[in-house]
Amino acid sequence: MKNTKVIGMGKYLPEDVYTNDDMAKYMDTSDEWIQERTGIKERRFARKHKETTSTMGARAAEIAIERAGIEKKDIDFIIFATISPDYYFPGCGVLIQRELGMTEYEVGALDIRNQCSGFIYGLSVADQFIKTGMYKNILFVCSEMHSMGLDFSTSGRNVSVIFGDGAAAMVLQGTDDNDKGVLTTHLHSNGTHAEELAMINPGSHGGHYLGTEQYGYPDPDVLGGVFITQTMLDTTGQLAPNMNGQLVFKTAVKKFPEVIMEALNKTGYSPEDIDIFVPHQANLRISKFVQKVLKLPDEKLVSNIQKYGNTTAASIPIALCEAWEEGRVKDGDLVCLAAFGSGFTWASALIIW
């Protein structure tokens, strides 16, 4: 059975930088307020009508393919993870295939929607395909253009100051080297509090949730097929992301260590064996808390949320690519990846680099 190794990585960050002071021009906030709660100093926003989720992903993919030393025709499957696609449908998988000029090869394209856990979920899927020998070279792309759907008023600041745009990609290939590659992945979810970190509309339920008026939605029978209603426009959190920050933080700091220890126990490693820890860049306080629980020194934690904010599915591969480019990820390192996000979903992975 093959092991799955990363043979090329690339990232793309939009040129336009928005500092916390820039955000304060649109809402009642401040640099001190944002940094204290999230650790974020600035983020990147793509240029509307000039860049999209798929075009950013394509730029990252081109770098990854070049670094992998293969050609586009060698890619036999595409996986694309995002929660901010170009279109409601089709997904970005086929769009990036077209953007990269790969339509003549007609390889399959799979779209992943697991929010902040999207990268590890996608990595797990790719790993299974390669282990079974179904595909040899998989292009895995994660890209987010959150700026297109955020509420930049004061009512939306708790969410809007957190997110940024960006993309990363990697080429995954099978290897016979038992000492390299993906060791294990662990995926979990619990939908009990699904609406506590969500973008509710537009959705096929027509604004109705379990037969209640919990979220102030009108009866779907009254809508008559209207996709977006005035109620949706008037109610905060229905057409833009909303988050119960306290619940998310409380759950994340519990699930992060649990899923990491699950991976370590599965493979016989302990926290001190970790060479590099790359958590999803959700909140610097969460990353620091998990670092403390695992007793990891600062040099083992990869954190770039200060520069880019939360890029959801793209955050782990952007941070991993950046750490590799800086020489922090070295041959033979034990790399630990972990994520927690909307759903709720959470996941972990261990890789021998």
- Indicate if the pLDDT at residue 212 is higher than 50: no
3-175 is classed in which CATH architecture? Answer: 3-Layer(aba) Sandwich (3.40)
**Side by side, which strands form the sheet with 77-81?**
3-12, 166-175, 137-144, 77-81, 108-112
> Active site residue: 92, 116, 321, 336, which one?
116
**Between residues 169 and 249, the one the model is more confident about:** 169
Catalytic residue of the set 137, 201, 310, 321? 310
Residue 318: predicted pLDDT: 98
- Is 310 noted as a catalytic residue in this protein? yes
Residue written as token pair 């253009």: 145
Rounded to an integer, the average pLDDT of 74-89 is: 95
- Helix axis angle for 245-267 and 284-294, nearest 10°, is 40
pTM: 0.90
Q: What is the mean pLDDT of residues 322-351?
A: 96
Say what percent of the chain tops pLDDT 70: 89
Average pLDDT over residues 36-54: 95
Which H helix or E strand runs over 292? helix 284-294
C-alpha to C-alpha distance for 268 and 141, rounded to whole angstroms: 30
Q: What angle do CA 275, 277, 280 make, to 5 degrees?
A: 165
Mean pLDDT of 202-218: 47
Range name among 47-61, 94-108, 184-198, 200-214 with the lowest pLDDT average: 200-214
pLDDT at 27: 93
Residue 44 near residue 306 (C-beta atoms within 8 A):
no
Q: 73-97 burial, b for 16+ CB within 10 Å, e for fewer?
A: eebebbbbbbbbbbeeeebbbbbbb
| Mean pLDDT, residues 208-224 taken together | 44
At 200 the pLDDT is 72
pLDDT at residue 102 is higher than 90: yes
| Res 213: pLDDT | 47
Does 116 participate in catalysis according to the annotation? Answer: yes
Give the pLDDT of residue 272.
Answer: 97
Confidence class for position 58, pLDDT limits 50, 70, 90: very high
Q: Which superfamily, per CATH, for 181-193+243-352?
A: Thiolase/Chalcone synthase (3.40.47.10)
Instruction: Indicate if the pLDDT at residue 80 is higher than 80.
Output: yes
**Cβ(103)–Cβ(122) under 8 Å?**
no
Task: Identify the active-site residue in 146, 186, 208, 280.
Answer: 280
Peptide bond into 249 cis (omega under 30): no
Q: What is the pLDDT of residues 135-158, one digit of tens each?
A: 999 999 999 999 988 888 898 888
For the chain, what are the domain ranges? 3-175, 181-193+243-352
Decide whether 3-175 matches 181-193+243-352 in CATH topology: yes
